Chains A and B, each alone.
Chain A
């Protein structure tokens, strides 16, 4: 009987996952925000047991959770059962958790340099497209999203499979306040991206920024969490979750 509980109880599985990850992972680079989210965001909400998995999740968040599941490290036996931590639990983890337990894998090495991706084996189209993406990124960082858009549009003309071009197009659209367009480009970027958790995390973090700007805070939070699961060193997601701590959930607009 005890064995059965240990085997199937979701909290047991969750605890096993947390402990396994905690045991194996070094501390993340970015500080996980300290106070437990549940108390700050949902006054009076029970910390345990957590709500039923994905009960109130928006459709997209559900899909993302499933994606994460497929990418979860296989070290925790619990992960193989297919049982997912709840959204609330994941928020806790992002913020240090009720027990301040870091639940994320170690931060990934910085893979943001596009020029470093150019090797002798890179096709000329991809190389030219990456160089232009880098130029577009610099223009964007210099504060000229409109000009960077013009440059970045060329990157996908030269190489329509360059996911980074789409990502920075999304970023430029975000900077211009066009959140819906930005989300559209992120979808395309994601469909063009391979197994690059660093960049997937960037995509999810920017998706979170767009949702947040649209007032869809729950979706934003889910996206930030996904970003941190993929790369606990993702500063955008970590900072954003930190900023969101003080915002009462009751003030959030209803998720579409």
Chain B
């Protein structure tokens, strides 16, 4: 009996020993795991930094056209705020309508190549042009200024954490003291967890029968943010406490405090989360930490508890109340004097509209990202905090988006057959906007709705260009002449009648729109009215291979079959290729490369990459001028005359495009300074049944009217090749587009009515 009891006892003891030892071993293993985790975080990479994409900068100069409402909108987007008095601090502006002036206190701005110091300036307007720019500080006249680029979006994974890491020494003592006073006043006296703090919080919460105070130390908060979720459960609280103790044992209070000040979440700006005290000071007050007032410091520290609920952007009342509580605490703890306290209470809260970061221009960003991914991995792009300066003009981008979406909607309203039925695909479209002189892509809309389809039709969709291709035929004719010996000029008479083109034992017969043929027509009229048969005859005479080679020379990269139908655009190209080829014409024969990325900087502002404007004179400038004059006729008298009736009156050239099967409708049009290509159609085989003039031109016209409203009116200028006067100057003499002498005005238009 006794024996068996002893046996049971010994078995129990052994079992206890085994369990205890196992527990200890497991506990030690678990602690080691947590310690490794803490060490890894504190000693390794703590934060990831999303790369940020910026628009192009905005350049203003004396004489430039400027509408004050456009400038005001731009300033608001850049985070400037309007005041009723003369701007006194960086980031303020005032529109003095009566004086016809805009006063701005510019932000500091570090461009990729230089640093601009924010100064107060005054822009005087005369009508809708800038008459004068001067520094308000010393009345010194300035001839131009540059506004900083706008943030378009960030490249990040999961969430966008926006922060700038600062050293503890860079944080003003008042900021540190205030945060400690409201978040963990016994920070320098505990070892990661604070039993006294917990008891006090429990007592306060018990008395109020609600959650009023947390017992978490600043170290626990940091650990939670670093490793754990937001849930308030025991299973989370225990490892949090253990890791806090481990962190305190391994690292100094200063290290923990510095990490906390950089880690803490302090607000939301659209898709961008604001993290760390430096970033918060910028977000709420547009100033560095060192410039914060007592009231601003208190407001910032008070936000930690509930950044979004207490945000001054959301509730001035709530934010003021919380700030005053913090100020009272600072006064109680003798951190500030009564005088400072009284002054801080009178401080006004920042009164500004919240400018959200909303991931603008998603199609453009996708294009840009593809370009970047040739040189940078996804990990680098999403974690290394690169600053990418692009060529995008956000104002033009928004105009392009609006023009496309509204234009397609109108088309569906006026042509019910275009509306999708059931699960059918909807009508789609694309716009790409280029600056011909530089190749900079100023706007890109690859589809109607990015959320629904991310397929970017600007550079991913290969479509038949139709008649948009025809100018290349006419250009080849002007350049090379015909194999028959014909030297083509705008007034050369060509035959627009039915014919059959035999080649390689095959036959091809082009047909005109509505099967209407006009017989003998001028070269000019054939292009302006996009006559298929006449164009095909010209192409046959010039040689289709020459036409194909010329198209490649201009910037078409897709393979082009050297078959007769190519003359009428029977090949597949992207809208971006068409834009580049036409930009060569607009740019006086200089082919530019399309440019989206301008500079890439790393976090230390070192320039990793700089893409400069590149161009090559591939056409005689005189020939380019001549074709521009011809294509002006398309808008003035030809298939795109509707643009003029719709109110787009400035000098411009362009070409409509409709494919034979009515699946694609195009319009390419340009002024000397801005080019836009519009494509409308369905992704699938469905026909749109409308011409380029009916479907694409109205969208182009709407966009260009808005886009060029504040641009100076310019016309295409011919090259100055040979002086025609003895003194070597052109004088008043005018010469035509074919001789190349001096600035050739547009050759007088000959109507083809009588032909």
User: A residues bordering B, Cβ < 8 Å?
Assistant: 70, 123-125, 127-128, 131-132, 146-147, 149-150, 153-154, 156-158, 160-161, 169, 173, 181, 184-185, 187-188, 191-195, 197
In the assembled complex, B621 has its CB within 8 A of some CB on chain A: yes
- Listed by A's residue number, 27 A-B pairs whose Cβ atoms lie within 8 Å are A124-B61, A125-B63, A125-B714, A127-B143, A128-B62, A131-B143, A147-B114, A149-B610, A149-B612, A150-B111, A153-B438, A153-B612, A156-B437, A156-B438, A157-B440, A158-B59, A160-B437, A160-B587, A187-B616, A188-B617, A191-B621, A192-B588, A192-B720, A194-B720, A194-B729, A194-B742, A195-B722
B728 and A195 form a contact (CB under 8 A): yes
Against A, the Cβ 8 Å flags (1 = close, 0 = not) of B557-575 are 0000000000000000000
Chain B residue with the shortest CB-CB distance to A169: B613
In the assembled complex, B100 has its CB within 8 A of some CB on chain A: no
**Inside 8 A of A157's CB, which chain B residues have their CB?**
59, 435, 437-438, 440
**Inside 8 A of B378's CB, which chain A residues have their CB?**
none
A160 and B436 form a contact (CB under 8 A): yes
Near A by CB (< 8 A), chain B positions 107-153 give 111-114, 129, 143-144
Complex Cα gap A191–B712 (Å): 23
B63 and A123 form a contact (CB under 8 A): yes
**Inside 8 A of B62's CB, which chain A residues have their CB?**
124, 127-128
A147 with B63: in contact, given A132-B144, A192-B588 (CB under 8 Å)?
A: no
A160 and B614 form a contact (CB under 8 A): no
- Our pick among A124, A131, A158, A184 for the contact of B616 (Cβ within 8 Å) is A184
- Our pick among A150, A154, A158, A161 for the contact of B112 (Cβ within 8 Å) is A150
Instruction: List 20 additional A-B contacts (Cβ < 8 Å) besides A125-B63, A160-B436, A197-B728.
Output: A125-B712, A128-B62, A128-B64, A131-B143, A157-B438, A157-B440, A158-B61, A160-B587, A160-B588, A161-B717, A173-B612, A184-B615, A184-B617, A188-B617, A191-B589, A191-B617, A191-B719, A192-B720, A194-B742, A195-B723
A204 shortest CB reach to chain B, Å: 15
**Inside 8 A of B112's CB, which chain A residues have their CB?**
150
In the assembled complex, B344 has its CB within 8 A of some CB on chain A: no
B728 and A188 form a contact (CB under 8 A): no
In the assembled complex, B730 has its CB within 8 A of some CB on chain A: yes
**Inside 8 A of A197's CB, which chain B residues have their CB?**
728
**Inside 8 A of A147's CB, which chain B residues have their CB?**
113-114
Tally A-B pairs: CB < 8 A.
97
Interface size (B, Cβ < 8 Å)?
43
Against A, the Cβ 8 Å flags (1 = close, 0 = not) of B581-612 are 00000011110000000000000000100101
B634 shortest CB reach to chain A, Å: 21
B512 shortest CB reach to chain A, Å: 37
Complex Cα gap A192–B112 (Å): 30
Chain A residue with the shortest CB-CB distance to B743: A194
B672 and A160 form a contact (CB under 8 A): yes
Q: Which 9 A-B pairs have the closest CB atoms?
A: A124-B63, A194-B720, A195-B723, A128-B61, A187-B617, A191-B621, A160-B437, A195-B728, A147-B113
Chain B residue with the shortest CB-CB distance to A118: B143
Near A by CB (< 8 A), chain B positions 425-443 give 435-438, 440
In the assembled complex, B673 has its CB within 8 A of some CB on chain A: yes
**Inside 8 A of B144's CB, which chain A residues have their CB?**
128, 131-132
**Inside 8 A of A70's CB, which chain B residues have their CB?**
722
Complex Cα gap A197–B728 (Å): 9
**Inside 8 A of A128's CB, which chain B residues have their CB?**
61-64, 143-144
Complex Cα gap A187–B61 (Å): 28
**Inside 8 A of B742's CB, which chain A residues have their CB?**
194
Chain A residue with the shortest CB-CB distance to B59: A154
A123 shortest CB reach to chain B, Å: 7
**Inside 8 A of B621's CB, which chain A residues have their CB?**
191-192
A191 with B588: in contact, given A125-B712, A147-B114, A160-B672 (CB under 8 Å)?
A: yes
**Inside 8 A of A158's CB, which chain B residues have their CB?**
59, 61
B553 shortest CB reach to chain A, Å: 14
Complex Cα gap A84–B144 (Å): 48
**Inside 8 A of A154's CB, which chain B residues have their CB?**
59
**Inside 8 A of A193's CB, which chain B residues have their CB?**
720
Against A, the Cβ 8 Å flags (1 = close, 0 = not) of B702-718 are 00000000001010010
**Inside 8 A of A123's CB, which chain B residues have their CB?**
63, 712
Complex Cα gap A123–B672 (Å): 16
B281 shortest CB reach to chain A, Å: 30
Chain A residue with the shortest CB-CB distance to B599: A150
B113 and A150 form a contact (CB under 8 A): yes
Chain A residue with the shortest CB-CB distance to B143: A131
A131 shortest CB reach to chain B, Å: 5
Complex Cα gap A181–B614 (Å): 7
**Inside 8 A of B728's CB, which chain A residues have their CB?**
195, 197
**Inside 8 A of B588's CB, which chain A residues have their CB?**
160, 188, 191-192
- Our pick among B59, B673, B719, B720 for the contact of A160 (Cβ within 8 Å) is B673
Against A, the Cβ 8 Å flags (1 = close, 0 = not) of B154-175 are 0000000000000000000000
Against A, the Cβ 8 Å flags (1 = close, 0 = not) of B667-689 are 00000110000000000000000
A50 shortest CB reach to chain B, Å: 28
The winner among B59, B61, B589 for most chain A CB atoms within 10 A is B61
**Inside 8 A of B435's CB, which chain A residues have their CB?**
157
A185 and B720 form a contact (CB under 8 A): no
